[in-house]
Amino acid sequence: MPDSAALLLTQDLIARPSVTPADAGCQQVLAARLGPAGFACETMVFDDVTNFWARRGQAAPLLVFAGHTDVVPTGPLEKWASDPFQPVVRDGLLYGRGAADMKSSIAAFVVAVEEFVAAHPDHKGSIGMLITSDEEGPSINGTVKVCNALEARGDKLDYCIVGEPTSVEQLGDTVKNGRRGSLSGKLTIKGKQGHVAYPHLARNPIHLLAPALAELAGTVWDNGNEYFPATTFQVSNLHAGTGATNVVPGEAVLDFNFRFSTESTPDGLRKRVTDILHSHGLEFDIDWVLGGEPFLTPKGELSAAISSAIREETGVAAELSTTGGTSDGRFIAKICPQVVEFGPINASIHQIDEHIRVDSIEPLKNIYRRTLENLLLDRS
């Protein structure tokens, strides 16, 4: 049996070493495929990041496929069983950096669209594709700026499918209909340096911090809701001291992170943290970084359409989930009322010998095509 079009395109994309923020020509490949299918293709460059926007049609509703061509660095090349940018099939698995995250999804997008348009050239609505090379990096000049540009010129998105690898045990078992927010803080507790033999002449910031840290760690920030688990607080680093055992440190620095649900807000979490610290009489500074706000798409047309497509193609009943880290869905959700993420099994993403099952690529493409059919064909 000849290799499928989606597999061949996946291999072509993997062979392009698009380590973030490089695109390595991937988006040119996509434009060459989508142009003949009737898409108006546009390159949007912001600083060192290349982004790609393509649209077929002007009518509503607009269904957009979104993803990223950039990949994380390979890590030690000698630990890979084969060159990470030379796609190789072994024992039914396709190996290469980006195989799962997320060049197979992008290839499946493109071929699904090609097949759908060929079969239904007069479909209702419009189809879009939003691709960045900045998702695995700082995410400053990628999807967020494309979304700002689209909003400024009046392009209205109705549905968006982000091709993140969401499946856990088998293709189709998990669809992400939201993501938690991420709020980080760098807390500096101020004390007074001194000799450990004369503690009355010093103020140990670690000792001062300890009761407040215990309260922070034990606080219930919220109880989550139907879609989100409770907000969590985690310390990622705590450091102080000069390296000498006989010196009380002058300050202690604590790095922490909230993964928060829609039941909490960044401002609310900031206030509660500072209130706790003040209640313990601490002298401190905090530098805050909001990595992303939570987004949620309640059950509706899009989740029903993709869940139905998964069931039709695989027989699997998809679970809606908001677990995991942040994604570019957080930017798209600001201009699109319905956003979900769906893609292949994520067990090997960002790892040495990243891979995807070859026999999952064709069903993945078919699920995307069936979703197009469910949303953009008039079945009345």
DSSP track, 30-70: HHHHHGGGT-EEEEEEETTEEEEEEEE-SSSPEEEEEEE--
Q: Per the structure block, which two tokens stand in for 46?
A: 């912001």
User: What distances in angstroms separate CA 254 from CA 68, 142, 233, 283, 285, one per listed residue?
Assistant: 33, 30, 12, 14, 11
Name the one residue in this structure whose structure tokens are 């995991």: 324
Distance CA 357, CA 4 (A): 13
- Residue 260 DSSP label: E
Q: Per the structure block, which two tokens stand in for 242?
A: 């000069």
Question: Taking a C-beta distance cutoff of 8 angstroms, is the pair 49, 134 a contact?
Answer: yes
β-sheet bridge partners, residue 195: 247
Amino acid at 175: V
pLDDT digits (tens, 9 = 90+) for 239-283: 999 999 999 999 999 999 999 999 999 999 999 999 999 999 999
pLDDT digits (tens, 9 = 90+) for 167-198: 999 999 999 999 999 999 999 999 999 999 99
Instruction: Give the catalytic positions in this structure.
Output: 70, 135
Q: What pLDDT score does 325 carry?
A: 81
Average pLDDT, the chain: 96
Q: What pLDDT score does 261 carry?
A: 94
Distance CA 157, CA 115 (A): 22
Q: Per the structure block, which two tokens stand in for 9?
A: 């395109």
Question: Taking a C-beta distance cutoff of 8 angstroms, is the pair 108, 163 a contact?
Answer: yes
Question: Taking a C-beta distance cutoff of 8 angstroms, is the pair 165, 344 a contact?
Answer: yes
pLDDT digits (tens, 9 = 90+) for 323-343: 888 899 999 999 999 999 999
Distance CA 279, CA 216 (A): 12
Has residue 1 got a pLDDT over 60?
no
